[in-house]
Copies of this chain bind each other. A is one copy, B any other.
Amino acid sequence: MPSHNAGPGQLAPLLVVLSGPSGVGKDAVLSRLRTKLPACHFTVTVTTRTRRPQERDGVDYNFVSERRFQELLGRGELLEYAQVYGNWYGVPKDQVREALARGRDVMIKADVQGAATIKRLAPQAVFIFLAPGSLEELESRLHNRHTESPEALAQRLQVAREEMKRLPEFDYIVVNADARMDQAIAQIEAIITAEKCRVQPRIVKL
């Protein structure tokens, strides 16, 4: 009998990329997942964006200067990076490598453009597209955020429409409908459990 328990399949940690349009609720979902998946490492994105009042440096993001960001970029230390609405965002490679090397699953939050970049570098990652229940729900959530000008809001909605077209590049779609976040969380947990049962494991090499 093959030692199926000792094979790489059951032990190889997963790299999970959670993406989706702006306003779909990625942060809220990740916040809930954090408590449910204590063994998982949640990468902290580096950004040049201005910190919002409720955000904590080093937890929600690593807020850095434009100069520091370009330095990381120049040294090839970002797994993915993108400029969105004039701000830079990036995922530090070392953080991901170190967690995977310790056998920890890694969860990356990425916008749709960033997920596409990660897919080129790490096609063996698990790509989850978090979708709104409807475009109306998405608009309402962005409105309630009170951080957008009408022009920025309209732009985000247009971008969201375009991003939905990239769904076929993802492995899974999870709908985060209003008042149904429990279901979305349960589905993401199920995806992680199922992926760990795959006979052909997804071994990420960075």
Contact = CB atoms under 8 A, between A and B. Distances in A.
Contacts of A198: 171-173
Interface string A130-144: 010011000000000
Interface stretch (A63-71, A117-125, A161-169): A161-169
Interface residues of A, number: 35
Interface string A59-90: 00000000000000000000000000000000
A174 interface: yes
Nearest to A189: B190
A134 B187 contact: no
Given A1-B161, A135-B1, A190-B189, A167 B197 contact: no
Task: Pick from A10, A172, A186 the residue with the most CB of B within 10 Å.
Answer: A172
Given A190-B189, A190-B190, A165 B2 contact: yes
23 contacts: A1-B134, A1-B135, A4-B164, A4-B167, A4-B173, A4-B175, A5-B175, A9-B173, A10-B173, A168-B200, A172-B197, A172-B198, A172-B199, A173-B197, A173-B198, A187-B194, A187-B197, A189-B190, A190-B191, A190-B194, A191-B193, A191-B194, A194-B194
